[in-house]
Chains A and B, each alone.
Chain A
Amino acid sequence: AQSVTQLGSHVSVSEGALVLLRCNYSSSVPPYLFWYVQYPNQGLQLLLKYTSAATLVKGINGFEAEFKKSETSFHLTKPSAHMSDAAEYFCAVSDRGSQGNLIFGKGTKLSVKP
Chain B
Amino acid sequence: GAGVSQSPSNKVTEKGKDVELRCDPISGHTALYWYRQRLGQGLEFLIYFQGNSAPDKSGLPSDRFSAERTGESVSTLTIQRTQQEDSAVYLCASSYRVQTEAFFGQGTRLTVV
A49 within 8 A of B: yes
Sample (12) of A-B pairs whose CB atoms are under 8 Å apart:
A1-B58, A34-B102, A44-B43, A46-B102, A49-B101, A100-B97, A101-B45, A101-B55, A102-B102, A104-B43, A106-B42, A107-B41
Chain B residues within 8 Å of chain A by Cβ, number: 25
Digit string of A2-38 for contact with B (CB within 8 Å is 1, else 0)?
Answer: 0000000000000000000000000000001010100
B104 within 8 A of A: yes
Tell me if A106 and B41 are in contact (CB < 8 A): yes
A: residues with CB less than 8 A from B are 1, 32, 34, 36, 43-46, 49, 51, 90, 94-96, 98-107
Instruction: Given A96-B99, A101-B45, output 20 extra A-B contacts at Cβ < 8 Å.
Output: A32-B99, A36-B104, A43-B91, A43-B104, A43-B105, A43-B106, A46-B102, A94-B98, A100-B31, A100-B97, A100-B99, A101-B55, A101-B56, A102-B48, A102-B93, A102-B102, A104-B42, A104-B45, A106-B42, A107-B43
